[in-house]
C-alpha cells in the first residue's frame, strides 16, 4: 500500500511537471487516433490501438515529467548554492550532460558576478583609502595655518622678528591647500567622466615655447637652467592643448621641484608617426622600486620633501589620466642623483 501510494504520488508529481507539454501530446494523440480510425477497419483493433496510444502517451508524459523534474531540481540546487556562496570556484558548478549549455552559461554568469563583486569591493577600498588620504592631506596645512594664526594672536604679531615669517608660512600652507583642492577637483572631474577633451592639431613648437617660458621664473628662483630645444616650426601634433599644457606644466614643475642643481631640458623627437615630448632633469632621481608607483594618487617617494615644495602627490595621477585619454602613456627613466626623464608620444 505504501509503495502504491508513493508510485501514485510520483505519477501525479511527474505528470504535473509534464503539464507544459500536454497540448502537444493531445494534438499528437488526436492525429494518430484519426490515422488509426482511417487505416484500421477492425473496430476492436481500433479501440485496442487507441487505448494503447493513450497508455503510451501517459507513460511518455510520466518519463518526460520525471526528467524535467530532475533537471529543475538540479538547477534549483545550483541557484541555491550560488545564493548561499557555497562555491569556491565556477568549476564546482556541475549539471547533467543534457544541460551542458546551461551549465556553461551559469558558469559564465557566476564568474562575471564574482568579478563584479571583486571590483566593487576594490573600488570601495580605494574610495576609503582615498578619503582617508584626503582628510590627512587637508589636515596638515589646516593645522599648520591654525598654529601660526594662534601664535600670532597670542602675541607674536607684535614681534617684528617672527610676525612676517609666520604670516609667510601660513600663506605657504594656504597655497598648498588651494593646490590640493584644485587637484582634487581635477581628479573628481576625471573620475566622473566630466573632463571633456577637445582634440585638435596644434603647433607643438609654439606650444612648448610658451609653456616653458611661463615656468622660467620658477627655474630662476632655484638657479636652474631651463632650456627648450626648438623643433621644426611646421610640426603639428594631435591632442587637447589645454590638458596637455597641464601635463607639461606638471612635468616641468616636478623637474624644477626635485632638482637642486644643473638643468631642466624640454625637447621633441620626431618619429615617423609620432612626436615624442621629453622633459629631462639633473635632479634627485627616483629609486627603481618607486618608479611604478609614482602615478598612484598621493604616492610620493619622499613625503616630507614633496610637501615642503608644495606637492600634493596627485599631479602625476592626473597626468596619467590625461595621457590615457590621448591613447598614450608616460615613459619614465630615472637614476638616483643623476636625474629623470619623463616622455610621452603624440600622434602626428
Ligand atoms: P607631487 O605633488 O608630490 O610632486 P606627483 O604626483 O607630481 O606629486 O609626483 C609623485 C612623486 O614622484 C613625487 O612626490 C616625487 O617623489 C616623484 N617625482 C615626480 N617627478 C619627479 C622628478 N622629476 N624627479 C624626482 N622625483 C620625481
* Ligand 1 mean position, distance from CA 265 (Å): 17
Quick one: fold of 199-347? Heat Shock Protein 90 (3.30.565)
Lining residues, ligand 1, CB within 6 Å: 250, 254-255, 258, 281, 283-286, 294, 299-302, 306, 311-317, 340
**Residue whose C-alpha cell reads 550532460 in the numeric block:** 97
Residue nearest atom 20 of ligand 1, based on CA coordinates? 254
* Ligand 1 mean position, distance from CA 132 (Å): 21
In Å, how far are 31, 74, 91, 98, 209 from 20, measured between CA atoms?
19, 19, 32, 19, 78
Residues 317 and 130: beta-carbon distance below 8 Å: no
Report whether pLDDT(223) > 70. Answer: yes
Report whether pLDDT(2) > 70. Answer: no
In Å, how far are 15, 151, 160, 228 from 147, measured between CA atoms?
83, 6, 18, 42
pLDDT band at 303 (very low <50, low <70, confident <90, very high): confident
* Distance (Å, whole) CA 132 – CA 220: 36
Strand order in the sheet with 225-229: 225-229, 263-270, 274-281, 339-347, 331-335
Fold match between domain 125-191 and domain 199-347:
no
- Greater pLDDT, 6 or 219: 219
**Thinking of the domain 125-191, which architecture would CATH place it in?**
Orthogonal Bundle (1.10)
* Ligand 1 mean position, distance from CA 216 (Å): 19
* Ligand 1 mean position, distance from CA 172 (Å): 19
Break the chain into its structural domains and give their ranges.
2-86, 125-191, 199-347
**What tens digit of pLDDT does each residue of 310-325 get?**
788 999 999 999 999 9
* Distance (Å, whole) CA 297 – CA 318: 8
For 278, the 3-state DSSP assignment is: strand
Q: Could you tell which of 176, 184, 260, 294 is best to mutate to test the pocket of ligand 1, judged by most ligand atoms within 8 Å of the CB?
A: 294
**What tens digit of pLDDT does each residue of 265-281 get?**
999 999 999 999 999 99
- Tell how strand 331-335 and strand 339-347 pair up: antiparallel
* Ligand 1 mean position, distance from CA 316 (Å): 7
Residues 331 and 262: beta-carbon distance below 8 Å: no
pLDDT on residue 3: 59
User: How far, rounded to the nearest angstrom, does the alpha carbon of residue 314 sit from its chain's CA centroid?
Assistant: 17
Please give the grid coordinates belonging to residue 107: 558558469
> What predicted TM-score, i.e. pTM, was given to this entire model?
0.72
pLDDT on residue 1: 56
Polymer length of the chain: 348
**What tens digit of pLDDT does each residue of 147-197 get?**
999 999 999 999 999 999 999 999 999 998 999 999 999 988 888 888 889
**What tens digit of pLDDT does each residue of 17-58 get?**
888 888 999 999 999 999 999 999 999 999 999 999 999 999
Amino acid at each position: 500500500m505504501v509503495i502504491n501510494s508513493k508510485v501514485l504520488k510520483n505519477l501525479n508529481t511527474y505528470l504535473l511537471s509534464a503539464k507544459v507539454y500536454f497540448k502537444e501530446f493531445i494534438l499528437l494523440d488526436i492525429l494518430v487516433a484519426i490515422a488509426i480510425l482511417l487505416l484500421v477497419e477492425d473496430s476492436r483493433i481500433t479501440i485496442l490501438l487507441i487505448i494503447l496510444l493513450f497508455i503510451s502517451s501517459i507513460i511518455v508524459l510520466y518519463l518526460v515529467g520525471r526528467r524535467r523534474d530532475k533537471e529543475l531540481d538540479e538547477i534549483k540546487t545550483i541557484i541555491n548554492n550560488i545564493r548561499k556562496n557555497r562555491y569556491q570556484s565556477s568549476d564546482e558548478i556541475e549539471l547533467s550532460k543534457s544541460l551542458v549549455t546551461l551549465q556553461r552559461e551559469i558558469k559564465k554568469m557566476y564568474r562575471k558576478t564574482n568579478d563584479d563583486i571583486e571590483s566593487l569591493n576594490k573600488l570601495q577600498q580605494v574610495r576609503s583609502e582615498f578619503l582617508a588620504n584626503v582628510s590627512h592631506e587637508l589636515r596638515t596645512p589646516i593645522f599648520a595655518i591654525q598654529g601660526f594664526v594662534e601664535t600670532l594672536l597670542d602675541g607674536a604679531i607684535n614681534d617684528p622678528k617672527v610676525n612676517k615669517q609666520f604670516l609667510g608660512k601660513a600663506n605657504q600652507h594656504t597655497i598648498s591647500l588651494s593646490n590640493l583642492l584644485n587637484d582634487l577637483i581635477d581628479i573628481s572631474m576625471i573620475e566622473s567622466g566630466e573632463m571633456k577633451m577637445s582634440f585638435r592639431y596644434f603647433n607643438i613648437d609654439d606650444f612648448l615655447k610658451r609653456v616653458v617660458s611661463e615656468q622660467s621664473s620658477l627655474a630662476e628662483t632655484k638657479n636652474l637652467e631651463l632650456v627648450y630645444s626648438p623643433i621644426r616650426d611646421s610640426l603639428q601634433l594631435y591632442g587637447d592643448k589645454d590638458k596637455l599644457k597641464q601635463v607639461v606644466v606638471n612635468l616641468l614643475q616636478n623637474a624644477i621641484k626635485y632638482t637642486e642643481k644643473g638643468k631642466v631640458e624640454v625637447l621633441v623627437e620626431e618619429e615617423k608617426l609620432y612626436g615624442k615630448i621629453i622633459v629631462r632633469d639633473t635632479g634627485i632621481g627616483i629609486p627603481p622600486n618607486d618608479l611604478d608607483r609614482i602615478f598612484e594618487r598621493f604616492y610620493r617617494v619622499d613625503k616630507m620633501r614633496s610637501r615642503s615644495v608644495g606637492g600634493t602627490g596627485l599631479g602625476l595621477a592626473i597626468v596619467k589620466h590625461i595621457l590615457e585619454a590621448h591613447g598614450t602613456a608616460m615613459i619614465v627613466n630615472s637614476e638616483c642623483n643623476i636625474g629623470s626623464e619623463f616622455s610621452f608620444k603624440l600622434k602626428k
